[in-house]
Amino acid sequence: MKSLKTVFIFLCVLFLSGAPSLLEALQPPAAVGAILPIEKTDRVLILAPHPDDEAIACAGIIQQALSSGAQVKVTYLTNGDHNQIAFIVYEKRLTFRKGEFIHMGEVRQKEAIKAMEILGVDSKDLIFLGYPDFGTFTILKRFWGDTKPYKSMLTKISSVPYKENLSYGAPYKGESILSDLKSVLREYAPTKIFVSHPADANSDHKALYLFLQVALRDLRDDIPSPEVYPYLVHSIGWPLPRHYHPELGLTPPKQFLASRAQWTKIELTPEQVNKKYQAILCYKSQTSSSAFYLLAFARGNELFGDYPETTLIREGQEKPGLVRFAGISDMFNVSRDIDWNNPGDIVKGKGRVSYGVDKENLLIRVDKLKGQGRKFNLQFYLFGYSGRVPFASMPKVRIIIKNNKFRVFDGKNMVRGPGLSLELDAGRLIAKVPLRLLKEPDFILAAVKTYASMLRTDTTSFRKINIK
């Protein structure tokens, strides 16, 4: 009896201390391989959505690359000028004027230069683009072509305001970001790229990964194909425990244990972990309010992972032996993942999303969580790529399903037309989207957002789906 009390007390202490739950501890660890060593001939490119992401996720990679004699460059998508709460804590004053937001971005740029100096990266190898913090995913969805540039909600700025930046004066539009990213890639021709993860909860992190996919495909005949290693920063309840724990390792979040995500890692020496710790502390504007979180990444390894690409073969072009499963009204090629975990108070369990094609349509199937109710509240993102059409002219489709009714948008414009359909019952939904609406893409970057309650959403990782 006494031993049972002891176990109970121990579990309570674990829970209250923020340590991983017993359920999480009992789950099998995800298989994690090792990244091949970086060679002297490598050209390493770190792509950071904000100043501090490169130190949080890649300080060890940077140190190991430099020690091997490889080249290292870091490119920052934004200057991180939208994190007003962190700056209020840091500067102990309200910052709501345009000039103050620019000041925030300048502070973070200086912090990045200092952090990279500690790791051994010269300031000439840092490239700051300066696009709007917390706005790049919206730009990807809606701001291309003849539309007016995106205007930041807080700064009221619609072009890059930092005179020292590569992109100074560039309008906040998709073409600007894509052009700048392609310029960096074309000039540097990296052999290894470390970039934010497509399942990251932060929208700028998703956007940078997606822009990179488009840029690399556009440049496939101009530069050798690099190895790409996505890193994760924002995932609910991860990593635990918080604060600085150099004695611990970084493992994939439990949400990914049942998915097909593939993970790799590098091991860090104690000296490398300490330098990473010092580099993160250079970001005083962020650690003033979030040191407990940021320093949790200074551990004995760094983690990288992505999903394998999926290829769907249109009806009539199947290869012998292709595995299929029956849907409600059509046949689907197998491309099924348990892509989100929904641990809230309303529902416990896992939902599934799967993709397929028939002769003329992309088919998206969502199997609901048990107990979720009959109504679906979802949003699909479908960003198609074609080598025959500039990406700026390709549809950026969003399908919004609310209370079992749906609307379709291409950028800002609502889309109507034959062929769009929705079939659903109490347990699942199938959306049918004509491939001609997506301009017959070579591949699609797709994700699903599910609204489990008014206050919380879950989004699947963006997946690259090749169409044959």
How far, rounded to the nearest angstrom, does the alpha carbon of residue 250 sit from its chain's CA centroid?
18
Task: Tell me the per-residue pLDDT of 54-94, one tens digit each, with 9 for 90 and over.
Answer: 999 999 999 999 999 999 999 999 999 876 565 555 555 66
Domain holding 390, by residue range, is 310-467
Indicate if the pLDDT at residue 329 is higher than 90: no
Q: What is the pLDDT of residue 9?
A: 37
Q: Which of 371, 55, 44 is nearest to 228 (CA)?
A: 44
Indicate if the pLDDT at residue 321 is higher than 50: no
Whole-angstrom Cα distance, residue 132 to residue 241? Answer: 31
Question: Which of 281, 306, 331 is at the close of a domain?
Answer: 306
In a domain, 14, yes or no: no
Q: Is 367 or 185 the better-scoring residue by pLDDT?
A: 185
Q: Is 98 or 445 the better-scoring residue by pLDDT?
A: 445
- Looking at residue 245, which CATH number applies to its domain? 3.40.50.10320
Question: Which of 306, 333, 365 is at the close of a domain?
Answer: 306
Residue given tokens 């973070």 in the structure block: 108
Rg for the chain, CA atoms, rounded = 23
Q: Which of 128, 123, 125 is nearest to 70 (CA)?
A: 125
What value does the mean pLDDT of the chain take?
Answer: 82
Residue given tokens 């635990």 in the structure block: 240
Tally: H helices and E strands in the chain = 10, 23
Letter string b/e over residues 14-35, b meaning 16 or more CB atoms within 10 A of that residue's CB: eeeeeebeeeeeeeeebebeeb
Q: Which amino acid is at 23?
A: L
Whole-angstrom Cα distance, residue 135 to residue 143? Answer: 10
Indicate if the pLDDT at residue 24 is higher than 60: no
Question: Which of 261, 285, 306 is at the close of a domain?
Answer: 306
Q: How many domains does the chain fold into?
A: 2
Q: What is the pLDDT of residue 375?
A: 66
- Looking at the fold, whether 326 and 214 belong to one and the same domain comes out as no
In a domain, 96, yes or no: yes
In a domain, 1, yes or no: no
Task: Tell me the per-residue pLDDT of 330-379, one tens digit each, with 9 for 90 and over.
Answer: 233 333 343 333 322 222 345 677 888 888 889 888 876 555 555 667 88
Q: Which two tokens stand for residue 344?
A: 């809230």
Residues in the chain: 468
- Looking at the fold, whether 291 and 346 belong to one and the same domain comes out as no
Whole-angstrom Cα distance, residue 74 to residue 282? Answer: 16
In a domain, 5, yes or no: no
Task: Tell me the per-residue pLDDT of 254-263, one tens digit each, with 9 for 90 and over.
Answer: 877 767 788 9
